Structure 1
């Protein structure tokens, strides 16, 4: 048993008030906590003395005779430990004076596992003595089963379940009034992971698909991990994990997949595991493994794989499946490509440059798959980097900023960037300016404001220089934008405004004159026709 890491502390209380002592100690088995006053065990039948399971002693309705030295005694089958002494001094002053209700000690935040006991402490003082009550912050009833109130206001919940989780509120009410003080604490009840559905052992023919299902529950929700013969099994290749890892699917099974598969469900409260066996059945007359498997690099992203058909039982072959993975990756990260039965070579594309790959192949029949061929290795060829994306910003009349994406991988292959620039009217470039692969910008200054510049940026590695990205940019516009605008000639503008106004007025006069002329013409013309008729 260890030493006490919390000793009781000296306390001063008033008659009728409350005193509280606490001690804490660890041991295996868990020690039993008792208390002594003046080296004599306290009377546990005294209803004013409340002992809580977590090593707390509460004394309510204090009296003068309660004064003394208190010790905490911890004992188990291995040893006995006695804490430091703590003096309780009870004074008689102010015992009849009114005091507002107050909570000396409220409930702590607790995290427990199901079936444990929750102790929610609430020590209240006041005169008259306050009434302590409990509620849940969410309004749900606390219930009565397994619930006990210990002492004057401590809530004990035995055999807790996940449903007991919540925020509990302790209220100290002054009798006959609405005056109250509250304190609250959160109770979190966790449940260790347990299985709702165990994986079942299965037998499947070679080349078919095997599936295991493993469902678990708990609080917090458990994480499911799969093991194959004790080794962690991840997704990739012909292995798939779905439904939050609760379903394990293995396609195109072969002899290498025959194993014990373990499902491990784990959360912060505990873990569980279950296992099942996969047995791979082999039908009679299956073909042997493909032979003479070879892999030859074609380019930086392509490898050609060739093979010969198996020695026996080749009539029922319906096709081949080529298994591909990076040599540095684990087997579960492989992927497959199907090949026609009449084809004995396959071009694998979309590979990474300068990378080693592993290849093997299986022959398939309606009754299952052959065993795997001997794996072979091949590395793709290296290549120079692609042209980097490049943008240009004009900073001023004589400066530019070049921007591109950094390529940290260039540093791994003895590479970086090369920068060239020149006025477009000249034949020779300034450069190369060598830049690391981690750099993403560069400024050019002291340029000719009247010139158009050609800028080239390329990436290089141990395989050579890549193609360059070329940009043309003119500084003349920036020079013009930075020049001062000419001063305003207000007289000219005023004259122009006057001319415009005069034109508008003249136009209005002409229009009115035309309208008057037309009206007179119509009137006199009509009168002339009338006179002619009279004659």
Structure 2
């Protein structure tokens, strides 16, 4: 009986939400998370959760979901929030792993097995839902651009390029006359974006060039482009010309930036780099690829700026320049909130960036305030925004820290304190209530007792005010002032102030009128 009363009080707490106000409490989560009222040895905890993966068409795919807790434990899977049908194509193994025997995409209906997968583990104490794992279909579409034929003077510079987008990113190599191009020749420079540069062109370099893009999905060959080498009896003087200058580039902290600059002329121009603001480029992490490409490794915020590529004719002041802006950015501090599941577990949620690709992932750290020895750290890819922390010290206070990072670079940290003793997040925005239904929880019993006393006092107060209504009326109260009160007047024709309390119920009772009679002013000489 006591347990039923406690659950009723908790239910009232959860249902007492003000309309139009945002709340971040345990009551707001899905029923699966609300059922997570497990403690001690019965607590469900993930050993392995599904992770992001790129699947290959017509090949098997396995997603892990291993849980510990009191049995029996049932494991179910969802894709894009829809239950995964088990049968011939998909089955759940004994350890909870989802096996898709032939990952497919049907062209005629455009249906695919790709999507966001999560698993749910449930026993008689409650349910836990894993993080969402993004499953992408490996692909390698057609080339966006093909190399074009070019004629170059002997001793000059040649540049050919191709472009393709793949999942995962394709590896690009080059062939000449259908044979792999030797990368040991220092005259050949292969940039990661599919650019091939050849300096000091020789007659033996002529031929048909094509690029080869490959990943786990496929291998594609571009169209062939003819490189012709013109042999002149004598070399003609040519002014420096920049064939391709640096492009505007935005990268993350500690990533690598490659600014292209390739120039031609006779005599061969000398390529140099500088910053438009006059600051020194420095030497640490700086490298020149080929004859003029600038590579900045382990980029920092100080590397942001406008870079100037100059092609200088030897022995003169004649030169050509090209500009490119480099922006190095740091992830902003992500906002997050927590939901206490029980006395030893909590779930953390955080916001994803509005612009995908601005960060690589998140790092979640936690440690006990009174017992710093209880601590942990987890790292997640950039599209994950939830994690369940379990096996915590019962009824303890923890500091949670969330950091977004680019490669090895960290953004600003966001910290919050969470108390497991009260069953609520003390730092989360919005009103919260203790809605975890943990059996044997002392804090829950205290909340129930205090809530019961408060209910008794409220009932007495309503009885004294003549409040009569059904117990199961909707808790939607509106305070309204009647437009006129002609029927109620004071002793000398003065209309008293009044407030009408009307409550919308299935059976509307007579309104309760609270009369506030103003005290007439004291006239001089009427004190007797």
Q: TM-score, normalization: structure 1?
A: 0.42
Could you say which structure has the higher strand fraction? 1
TM-score of the superposition, structure 2-length normalised? 0.42
| Larger radius of gyration between Structure 1 and Structure 2 | 1
If asked which structure has higher relative contact order (CA below 8 Å, sep 6+), I would say 2
